[in-house]
Structure 1
Amino acid sequence: MHSTDHFAPTLAEIEALALAAREALPGQFAGPARAVVLRVEDFAPDDLLIEMGIEDAFDLTGLYEGIPMTEKSVSDPGGPDLIWLFRRPILDEWAARGDVTLGDLVAHVYVHELAHHFGWSDDDIAMIDRWWE
């Protein structure tokens, strides 16, 4: 192996970046965020893409599945909320941008999906994720 060899980050490495972003959240959010299951896959499943009307799997970097905390009630069915991150579309966007670190992009996608869980407004997201500064 040569020092010039490069390998794309693995699913586990993308997950580690998202978990680091979760731990960096302000305390009032970090705890509840741990209750949301994180799954990292190369791409969204075909049936999900079809259901969402997305033709190109590279167009979906992440997805929140669940009921936002602001809408939950005791009568809602059990089961954990879930955030999906899709490695290949994230890597594609990262390469195309060329102006952000992979860690920053993963954190941005993760926080955006987590915002759906918390029922955050755009202003709430901006306080946590300074992406646009």
Structure 2
Amino acid sequence: MSQFGFAPSLDDIETIARAALTRLPEPFAGHLQGVVLIVEDFPSEEMLDVLGIEDAYELTGLYTGNPAGLESVTGDLPPMIHLFRRAILDEWADGGVTLAELVSHILIHEAGHHFGLSDEDMEWLEAELKKP
């Protein structure tokens, strides 16, 4: 049993993710203000089909939208970070990290796509989140 009860809810995951966003250093934090955070139990069938993924439990997060710095076309949806609760909980159940660490890791990875960051840059951002 976790600190949230039996299983963290969609709202619990969103609260953890928003807390992680507030700890991001500038200029990243400012550039993510227009990015929509969506927490759902599972990705849509359309998302899975586009990505060629058969098992919804394989996808913990997804960035959709134009990367930072690219002009959007009128009518484009805003950039979005999707977090998928059930896959996150499955990965968390495997142990090794706290739920907050896992959600932060996924969030940084997806935010990294918004900025076109390398894996090394994403590791630096994760380290920044872990600082007191």
After TM superposition, the score normalised by the length of structure 1 is 0.86
What is aligned with 1:3? none
What is aligned with 1:45? 44
Unaligned runs of 5+ in 2: 128-132
Residue 119 (1) aligns with residue 116 (2): yes
User: 1:53-103, CA deviations, whole angstroms, 9 ceiling, x for partnerless residues?
Assistant: 101000000000011114x02x6334310010000000000001x110000
Aligned-partner Cα distance in 1 for 2:46–2:77: 20
Aligned-partner Cα distance in 2 for 1:27–1:68: 17
**Percent identity of the aligned residues?**
52
Larger Rg: 1
Superposed, 1:77-96 pairs within 5 Å as 77=74, 78-96=76-94
Aligned-partner Cα distance in 2 for 1:85–1:123: 22
What is aligned with 2:23? 24
What secondary structure is seen at the aligned counterpart in 1 of 2:62?
strand
Aligned-partner Cα distance in 2 for 1:54–1:69: 26
Q: What is the deviation of 1:27?
A: 2.4
What is aligned with 2:96? 99
Aligned-partner Cα distance in 1 for 2:87–2:10: 12
Equivalenced residues, count = 123
Letter in 2 for 1:108: H
Let me know the Cα RMSD of the aligned residues: 1.6
